[in-house]
Amino acid sequence: MNRQGEEVTVPDGTWHAGETIRPLLLEIEQRPNVPEPWLELLEALLLAQQYREAQDVLVLARTYGISGPAVEAYARRLNEMPLPSGSTLMERERTVMGLLTLRRFDECATAVAALLERFPEHGSAWKIWGVILLHQGRPRDAVQAMRRSTELLPEDAEARANLAIAITALERPRDGVEV
């Protein structure tokens, strides 16, 4: 499916992307601070299974100040979609966990940063980011990341324990706390 009007079969019948997307792009160009056309464009791109484009549109919409519950709902939906590179979220998580297990913190930090950029509401990624920050001797930043992980994963005992460890490290930085 592309933006040139290629047909996509949806449960209701045939949908022409060009018929929906072109007018929305014109409307966004004329009024970039109005949320409705952005949201309609996101929906159209999701229907067309254009997840990479939808992610780009979401980022661009946010740069124009488009926010709110509907935008966050689209962000969550996009986080559940397959990644355009062919790798799945699960594969990325395994890579991150492998690097963390091998204590290759610099590489792990890069991988987690990329994961959080793509999936900013990913609680486990925030948890791992906090661990990396703690290992880098940045307990204040680790506490912030781990607090975010506990917000996203309120039932995760490990996230809460990691937060307690980071707070302890913040209070006693010379002890070299291990996570």
Same domain as 29, residue 68: yes
* Cβ contact 166:134 at 8 Å: yes
Domain boundary among 60, 79, 98: 79
Same domain as 162, residue 96: yes
Give the predicted TM-score (pTM) of the model: 0.49
Cα separation, 60 vs 160, whole angstroms: 34
Same domain as 71, residue 95: no
* Cβ contact 108:101 at 8 Å: no
What is the rounded average pLDDT for all residues in the chain? 78
Does a structural domain hold residue 84? no
Same domain as 94, residue 74: no
Domain boundary among 48, 79, 110: 79
**Total number of domains in the chain:** 2
Question: Residue 52's domain spans which residues?
Answer: 7-79
Does a structural domain hold residue 144? yes
- Predicted confidence (pLDDT) per residue in 35-87, tens digit: 999 999 888 888 877 777 787 788 788 878 898 999 888 888 877 765 555 45
Does a structural domain hold residue 58? yes
| CATH value at residue 136 | 1.25.40.10
**Encoded tokens for 134:** 């703690």
Same domain as 47, residue 73: yes
- Predicted confidence (pLDDT) per residue in 89-139, tens digit: 777 777 788 777 777 788 788 888 888 888 888 888 999 999 999 988 899
